[in-house]
């Protein structure tokens, strides 16, 4: 586990800043977005019509890589151990739309290096070769001769 300075992404330096951010399991499954936070749990909401809530202990979080919050557990573990039917209670969890819950202590948000680096695609065009056109023209005439 790497503790990077929180200045690597100053816009997301604390748990409350991660509301609505994506959460992935250790097997790289997107299980939803953070809906609520307390000092001991994050609540992940998955789905719009068929909604699932996962109450995941903060101790199961690997860290934030600047784009995704990564867990140390698999999707099957999340579903088996942490799924609940209840909407988070604003008096017990910080919910963005109902910021009633307050606490002065949240565990440190561990910053980790990004797991995936988006590739940069260049726009290099192969050099022009008149020989390539001759080969193409010859192959086209051969095809025509075959069907005649």
DSSP bridge partners of 43? 36, 55
Residue 20 backbone zone (phi > 0: left; psi -120 to 50: alpha; other: beta)? left
Does residue 116 lie in a domain region? no
Model confidence over 49-90: pLDDT tens digits? Answer: 899 999 999 999 999 998 999 999 999 999 999 999 888 777
Q: Which has the higher per-residue pLDDT, 118 or 66?
A: 66
Neighbours of 1 (CB within 10 A): 7
Does residue 52 lie in a domain region? yes
Model confidence over 20-58: pLDDT tens digits? Answer: 999 999 999 999 999 988 888 899 999 988 999 999 999
Instruction: Please count the structural domains in the chain.
Output: 1
Contacts (Cβ under 8 Å, ≥6 apart) of 73: 25, 26, 56, 60
Does residue 102 lie in a domain region? no
CATH of the domain at 74: 2.30.30.240
pTM of the predicted model as reported, rounded to 2 decimal places: 0.62
Does residue 12 lie in a domain region? yes
Does residue 124 lie in a domain region? no
Which range of residues forms the domain containing residue 82?
A: 6-95
Does residue 143 lie in a domain region? no
Does residue 86 lie in a domain region? yes
């Amino acid at each position: 586990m790497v503790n990077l300075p929180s200045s690597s992404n100053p816009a997301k330096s604390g748990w409350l800043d991660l509301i609505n951010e994506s959460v992935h399991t250790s097997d790289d499954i997107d299980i939803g977005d953070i809906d609520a936070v307390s000092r001991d749990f994050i609540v992940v909401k998955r789905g719009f019509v068929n909604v699932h809530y996962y109450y995941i202990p903060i101790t199961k979080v690997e860290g934030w890589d600047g784009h995704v919050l990564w867990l140390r557990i698999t999707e099957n573990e999340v579903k088996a151990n942490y799924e609940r039917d209840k909407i988070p209670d604003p008096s017990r969890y910080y919910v963005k739309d109902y910021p009633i819950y307050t606490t002065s202590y949240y565990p440190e948000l561990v910053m980790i290096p990004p797991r995936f680096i988006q590739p940069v695609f260049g726009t290099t065009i192969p050099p022009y070769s008149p020989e390539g056109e001759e080969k193409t023209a010859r192959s086209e005439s051969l095809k025509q001769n075959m069907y005649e």
